[in-house]
Structure 1
């Protein structure tokens, strides 16, 4: 029987969780396939960690059911679930060596000493920490401590590994490097990962699919590309990446595109069509900064808006321009700094009159 015929590896069915009068998780339904890296993404208090704790068995749902590999998890205590949770703090024992920390999770397993030693050696090799087996946690780096915690979690060979903000304690450069290490380790082990994070870039890098959460509810589920390029609401569009939004109204359809009147632009623009919206409907038009082109001359195509450079920030690989429109509205646009140089490499400078252009396919029309 194939995986699809057998059903999803993890099925969360109408799960809610209340603490007194406060509802932390509201009627969440999700499926996760075996071998996926699945991210729960959202701000503080959105319910993602509470959902993770229910999967681990540390909390029981107020209503709804959780199935793991076809088995109902209702009433199954944490120690009897084929699940391991890796905490943000890593929870390493400071008095134990790296090897003993990894072995600690195996102490209740029915294994001989030789089998346990072999498993620890295998895990240390997996996370490339064999040379550090005899060191204590304070004698290794933050990234290495994170890998010790991961090796300990994987040593018990769980079917599902839950990671709560696993990279939050690392600096930016180390966090970016460790993301790829995590992906490599997951690919080699085949264990299903569920990652809780508030960091959108981390979720986009790590996950095969993402569930964006807000106020205990799942707002959208999809691949990183689907979530970024095709958000289903103003909340998701604003939460993922940078975006500028404008009030607009649909005026009709032409040649498979949606005609949208945008008062802040003082003109009509064309956008990719959206099923279900009707002529005269109030909508939101959203534009991502990297989808806009900046030029001194009016660009070709149906979408061109004139403005003035109000602010300019140089980031090395690219520059951020804040363009003031005649209406007073501000639009953010990115330009890649492809040429090496100083002012001569800029597309425009402060107070320059410029034109913004964008492809109809880049314009996101949101009805909710």
Structure 2
């Protein structure tokens, strides 16, 4: 069978030695294991995100890196130096907290300067560093204001300037944008990326927000129950999830129980009862005929039409309901088996200029490319 785009898993090779190396780190609190045997390498200059739900262990791992928690087992290295037993103040690390922790009685300028008071610097050097940081975050004109006199996004930038003023090798950010509204959060993500690029500081971001992690990160790690489930770029993790958990955690997805019928070097054919037929999908290693497996398809990868077209993996259905979100619409399609499939359709034209792709109770056909069909063994 001819090859199709995406037939091969993405391959990456990193030649530089890791800037941060976490070796078999476990952290227990009594009988509870918050972090379980985590091994991780992060390169210098990366924005690396730890992504997961509440209680997955991401913040505990961040605190181990900062030195606020000692690992029960394992070692932590930063820039080739073993930091495991060093206290926070002896590590080349700074941390920006979710609450920002600004001093309300101090001006913006004094908040940024606070962390430099014990540095071996002259007053002129300290003032110059503060000026550089305020220029970096574009807050020079607000230097004499107090935190309550500036916006939430500006307070976030003050906290970032204060954290960067000591020129740490590593900056840890714990849910840095959680307090901002959606539009401001989206705007600030790009500001953070620009600031990181200018300074070259390695950022590790803890977040539960999937879109935030995918936007910010050069790479990300998905965590669950103290373990790292997958590490990769946003594209790797979204398009090539290694488990049902990761596929379901990152974005919306449709799952179907299936059975392998045939398998080749690039594609496999699986039987999917809920779809009422066979599906051609991108093959993964280790498949065997008769093997039970999960088929996953992202809603935006599904083509929706009123008429049947000569496309692969085409199945009939009926529109049960739909929701209009402006830029796209979400359709809930009932298959003949009774299974409901989600389909996203982009609203490329202004409403009223064209007929909707489908309407309530319309008979439709769903199709998706073999490259969009994800097979999951776990």
What is the TM-score normalised by the length of structure 2? 0.95
Q: Decide whether the 8 Å contact of 2:265 with 2:283 is kept in 1.
A: no
Of residues 311, 317, 325, the one that matches 1:315 is 325
Of residues 285, 289, 302, the one that matches 2:295 is 285
1:189 has 2:199 as partner: yes
Q: Distance in 2 between matches of 1:164 and 1:300?
A: 50
How many equivalent residue pairs?
A: 365
Tell me the residue number matched to 1:326.
336
TM-superposed deviation, 1:75 = 1.3
Q: Decide whether the 8 Å contact of 1:339 with 1:345 is kept in 2.
A: no
TM-superposed deviation, 1:6 = 6.3
Q: Distance in 2 between matches of 1:243 and 1:32?
A: 29
Q: Decide whether the 8 Å contact of 1:337 with 1:345 is kept in 2.
A: no
TM-superposed deviation, 1:7 = 2.0
Q: Distance in 1 between matches of 2:15 and 2:334?
A: 55
Q: Distance in 2 between matches of 1:344 and 1:143?
A: 39
Structure 2 CA distance for partners of 1:255 and 1:346, relative to 1, 3 Å:
farther
Of residues 101, 105, 108, the one that matches 2:118 is 108
Following TM superposition, the consecutive aligned residue runs of length 4 or more in structure 1 with deviations greater than 3 angstroms are: 342-345
Tell me the residue number matched to 1:119.
129
TM-superposed deviation, 1:254 = 5.5
Of residues 324, 342, 361, the one that matches 1:351 is 361
Q: Distance in 2 between matches of 1:255 and 1:111?
A: 63
Deviations 1:260-280 (A, max 9, x none): 100101100100011111111
Structural RMSD (CA):
1.1
Tell me the residue number matched to 1:26.
36
TM-superposed deviation, 1:297 = 1.2
Instruction: Give the SS at the match of 1:149.
Output: helix
1:224 has 2:238 as partner: no
Q: Decide whether the 8 Å contact of 1:247 with 1:283 is kept in 2.
A: yes
Q: Decide whether the 8 Å contact of 1:299 with 1:356 is kept in 2.
A: no
Alignment of 1:1-368 (within 5 A): 7-253=17-263, 256-342=266-352, 344-368=354-378
Q: Distance in 2 between matches of 1:76 and 1:362?
A: 48
Instruction: Give the SS at the match of 1:74.
Output: coil
TM-superposed deviation, 1:338 = 1.2
